[in-house]
Structure 1
Amino acid sequence: MPHSPMPARNEPTHPWLTGLLWAGLTVAIFAGWFVVTRFSVTRELRLWDVTALRFGVGALLLSPALLRRGHRLPAARWGEGLLYACLWGLPFVLLVAFGLQRTSAGQAAAIAPTLMPVFAGLFAWVVLKELQGRLRWLGHGIIVAGIVCMVAAGAAAHGMADPLGLAALACGSSMWAVYTLLFRRSSLTPVQSAALICVWSALLFLPVYVLGGLSRLGQASGAEIALQVLYQGVLMSGVAIVSFNRAVALLGPAAASAIIALIPAVAALAAIPVLGEWPAPAEAVALACVVGGVLLSARRAPSIPTTHGDRTP
């Protein structure tokens, strides 16, 4: 009598639930990033300092994963890591930073993460021929409508947002979406991908940061620097990237990226006690719409029974 197949040793027994837990951890860290970064850049540090700490500390912590004896990566994997660093490393952070300068922390938190699942679903549909389903398309539409409402509410309360800032945030979202689709087919582990992103980003940015005299670390307090080292270098560059990669591997890029769109709601709640920033009623309604769109977008994509002459996407 044949035995039932046993789960692989390193595979979770309930991958969907495990993936949700990884995605939830990622949401918490990313939402806090907007609040913590906003806290510092309105004081002594600048986004250049935050970027240097994020990738510099992350590279120091994660580079041993690339240099272990007997487990060194071939050159092709380093090239793949450079591509990932260009998609979700230094350029992504700089685009979001530019968007933060041109708009606001609340708008950046609402636009960059929430547009990402929309781009991921669109790219997967166009390039990979993956079905989305009516409910998922409806969720994408609600997310976009919610973002439009938030921008309109912000314009009514604070003036029109800078189009260049909005475009930078949208561009960063599209790059993040491409990364989620590519990583699903990668042979790199989540830790290796995170390490390559940090190492390549540090190599590209730190010489400019040092030689260009961009540092303001000497003007900040030790406590503030320690907070940024912990959050940017450890949580953002290490834990968040690994947890997001695990969520993508277990849930798929569309579902994982849709759950990540909950970031603005969590960030808005965290900003109330930390920054004293209360969302306007119209912004709260728009956030609720985005959350509804997220729940629809996070549904599993429909599958088509395999028949003669058909091929499963």
Structure 2
Amino acid sequence: MNADDALPRDREAGTSARAPRLSRSLLIGFGWAALTVTIFSGWFVVTRFSVTRELRIWDITALRFGIGAVLLAPAVLRPGRTLPLAAWGEGLVFMLLWGMPFVLLVALGLRLTTAAQAASITPALMPVFAGVFAWAFLRERQGRARWVGYGAIVAGMAALVAAGAAVHGAPSPAGLGALALAAAMWATYTLLYRRSGLNPIQSAALICVWSAVLFVPAYWLLGLSRFSDASAGEIALQVVYQGVLMSGVAIITFNRSVALLGSSAATAIIALLPAVASLLAVPILGEVPSLPEALAIAVIVAGVLLAARPTPDRRTSPST
């Protein structure tokens, strides 16, 4: 056998050796994304649980970033291993996109619409914004299947909002706008993070530290706290969920999924939030989706499956 005969076999062996690693990487990425979806879905339900009782969104925001900053600050403030100023500047940008302003926008949407609508609009629009931004500014090809998926997500989201309006009344335009802006900010963060030099823990820590520095002092000075009116159990629930799961675990797991799957695929999976949040709301809040709402959620899931497909190989582009 000559060298020319052996060459294709060597290539096949190299391809087969890379395939298991690729599949394992994708599976791990989907695992991180699934954990993120579970935590994020619970956030809408748990937050709705408290803001309709004694605590307010100001308390939720203070717990989320105050406790998160305490837990994660050692990752960026250890003596002898502090981050350069450029990294802190990058962290400030990340905070503006997925820190305190994002939470306050979603909170405004929750107050002006409903938990179900908020859990549908922001997560469903986020992968659409991520795909469009990546195509427009980074010249990343999305492929026909993904564009069809984005269209299905938007159609399903619109149907879900319409079905909810038939039960709860027309949603507030300001509330819808706040949720859409939050989605665009979240999508921008995913694109920027993938190209940053920060690891998931550093990014999460910087988001929490910057948010705490800018929000917590104003929170105390303005006397916004309602902790004295809430039960110890409710405060403990929010401490664990907001301060530990959302501020630390969820940001890290989401960043890992972005790194392994890519921003478009990872954000598309997050669009499963309406389905998961609706399921969690049944036993916790007693909110049972209507048949039209359930059908709209199914359309969103179908769009997610298309939007999460791998991007086309860039080598097939005519320009290369």
- The reply to whether TM is greater than 0.5 is yes
**How much has 1:154 moved relative to structure 2?**
1.5
Larger Rg: 2
| Gapped regions of structure 1 (runs ≥ 5) | none
Query: In the TM superposition, what whole-angstrom CA distance separates every residue of 1:4-24 from its partner, at most 9, and x where no partner exists?
Result: 8xx9xxx99821111000000
Residue type of the alignment partner of 2:315? P
| Percent of pairs with identical residues | 64
| Maintained 8 Å contact 1:12/1:18 | no
**How much has 1:151 moved relative to structure 2?**
1.3
**How much has 1:159 moved relative to structure 2?**
1.2
- Seen in structure 2, the aligned counterparts of structure 1 residues 258 and 60 have a Cα distance that, compared at 3 Å, is same
**How much has 1:72 moved relative to structure 2?**
1.2
Mapped partners of 1:104, 1:63: distance in 2: 34
Match for 1:27 among 29, 33, 37? Answer: 37
Match for 1:310 among 294, 301, 319? Answer: 319
Match for 1:127 among 137, 141, 151? Answer: 137
Residue type of the alignment partner of 1:198? C
Query: In the TM superposition, what whole-angstrom CA distance separates every residue of 1:79-105 from its partner, at most 9, and x where no partner exists?
Result: 000000000001100000000000000
Match for 1:172 among 176, 182, 186? Answer: 182
Query: In the TM superposition, what whole-angstrom CA distance separates every residue of 1:39-97 from its partner, at most 9, and x where no partner exists?
Result: 11111101110000000000000000001233210001000000000000011000000
Query: In the TM superposition, what whole-angstrom CA distance separates every residue of 1:217-268 from its partner, at most 9, and x where no partner exists?
Result: 1111111111100000000000000000000000000000000110110000
Q: What does 1:1-313 align with in structure 2 at a 5 Å threshold?
A: 14-305=24-315, 310-311=319-320
Residue type of the alignment partner of 2:167? A
Mapped partners of 1:164, 1:61: distance in 2: 35
Residue type of the alignment partner of 2:111? Q
Residue type of the alignment partner of 2:49? F
| Aligned-residue CA RMSD (Å) | 1.9
Mapped partners of 1:155, 1:68: distance in 2: 50
Mapped partners of 1:168, 1:64: distance in 2: 33
Structure 2 SS opposite 1:14: helix
| Gapped regions of structure 2 (runs ≥ 5) | 1-9
Residue type of the alignment partner of 2:222? G
Kindly report structure 1 stretches of 4+ aligned residues shifted beyond 6 Å. Answer: none
Per the normalisation by structure 2, the TM-score is 0.92
